[in-house]
Amino acid sequence: MPQKDDYAARDDDSLVRAAKQGDMAAFEELVDRHRDKLYARAFSMVRNEEEAIDLSQEAWVKAWQKLGQFKGGSSFLTWMTRIVINLCLDHLRKQKHPVSLSIEQLDEETGGVERQMPIVTVDPTEGLTREELRRRIDDAMGKLTHAHRTVLVLHEFEGLEYKEIAKKMGCSIGTVMSRLFYARRRLAALLADLQQERQQ
Amino acid sequence: MKQEDVIKIQAWLDGELAGSEAESVERLIAQDGEARALFAELRWTKSALAQGELERAVPESREFYWAKIERAIRATETAKPAVLNRPWVGLMVRWFAPAGIVAALVLLLVLPMLHQSRQQPWIAGAEIESPLNDVGSITFRSEAEGMTIVWVNTH
């Protein structure tokens, strides 16, 4: 039986191979290695600590059950991230109560509100450290709706194309483009506001 | 600017436009100040987001976090039938079980029919009763043609 130190020295591919043979200690090492990244992604989407923990743990359980399907076409972390994203999307869908859309939401969907927002001409992120910039973006993203945040996460953090996002979110490409446009414009305005608050 | 144009500016920034559409957006940005300003805003927003998401650590100890995962995995594994944990048995079950079920169903349907056809000829010789008093019938059976004809007389 390999010692814990042995696992820490091995790369992901080797650990995945061992886990596929039923080696749970190898899988535990994978969890230890990537748990923070998956938790952060889940948190970015659901914005709730407990839910993010539960969803990331559920993703690991699902991964163990589906390890046989992982063929190594992408990195293990990429594969895991897709699992956690799908779980978060299901979770958000279950939570949603689509009674009616507010006038503002309807406007967002049809592209009215963002046209009235003044363009932010001075980049409020200029000169910020990477950590500070990430913190401000995180603050601003926390103020967006789930639909707008999700489209930003999938496009900007996950690097998905419009059609892939549309498929995942169960909407048209036009809706994705409209939501992405609104989300970016709103984010720009929120970042400008944050910058002003700090300067005062 | 039209709504269509602003969406196209974004699509161009995201590399989702090609050919003549991409060229028309380039022209628009070069000629229209508002389009240029919007493009600049979308571009810095995109590059800010490219810095990635905020790093977050799981607010639980390593052991506590893993323990819940391990418990869930063990619970699902014990819930599975033991044979499924052996790959060759799983393969047998996956391929042969459906085939066995289909074969059993076919036998169930075919055997009684074979049995019945051995005991009595199919249709020929079967008695047809009529609930009506004034109805008469004449039956003709040709063994050579394998055919039965029934004339029904209602008068």
Helices B62-79 and A49-66: crossing angle in degrees, nearest 10, is 50
pLDDT at B26: 95
CA–CA gap between residue B42 and residue B9 (Å, rounded): 9
Closest partner CB to A156 (pick from B38, B50, B62): B50
A144-158 pLDDT per residue, tens: 999 999 999 999 999
Break chain A into its structural domains and give their ranges.
4-95, 103-199
Percentage of chain B beyond pLDDT 70 is 72
CA–CA gap between residue A197 and residue A193 (Å, rounded): 6
CA–CA gap between residue A153 and residue B30 (Å, rounded): 30
| 3-state DSSP assignment of residue A176 | helix
CA–CA gap between residue B155 and residue B153 (Å, rounded): 6
* Mean pLDDT computed over every residue of chain A: 89
Contacts of A70 (CB under 8 A, 6+ apart): A16, A20, A63, A76, A79
In this predicted structure, the answer to whether residue A101 has a pLDDT above a threshold of 60 is no
Q: Do A119 and B37 touch (CB under 8 A)?
A: yes
Closest partner CB to A111 (pick from B3, B42, B45): B3
What is the architecture, at CATH level 2, of domain A103-199? Orthogonal Bundle (1.10)
pLDDT at A113: 60
Of A69-73, A100-104, B98-102, the poorest mean pLDDT is in A100-104
pLDDT at A122: 81
Q: Which two tokens stand for residue A13?
A: 């591919």
Break chain B into its structural domains and give their ranges.
3-49, 86-119, 126-155
What is the architecture, at CATH level 2, of domain A4-95? Orthogonal Bundle (1.10)
B50-105 pLDDT per residue, tens: 988 999 999 999 999 999 999 999 998 877 654 445 555 555 656 677 777 778 88
In this predicted structure, the answer to whether residue B7 has a pLDDT above a threshold of 80 is yes
β-partners of residue B24 are: none
ipTM score here? 0.84
Location of structure tokens 């969406």: B7
Higher local confidence (pLDDT), B105 or A189: A189
Higher local confidence (pLDDT), B149 or B80: B149
Model confidence band, residue A107 (pLDDT cutoffs 50, 70, 90): low
pLDDT at B155: 56
Q: Do A138 and B54 touch (CB under 8 A)?
A: yes
CB B4, CB A86: distance < 8 Å? no
Measuring CA to CA, which residue among A154, A186, A153, A54 is closest to residue B42? Answer: A186
Helices A49-66 and A24-46: crossing angle in degrees, nearest 10, is 140
pTM for the model stands at 0.73
Nearest CA in chain B to A130: B51
How confident is the model over A99-126, as a mean pLDDT?
A: 66
CB B45, CB A155: distance < 8 Å? no
CB pairs under 8 A between A and B: 116
Q: Do A178 and B7 touch (CB under 8 A)?
A: yes
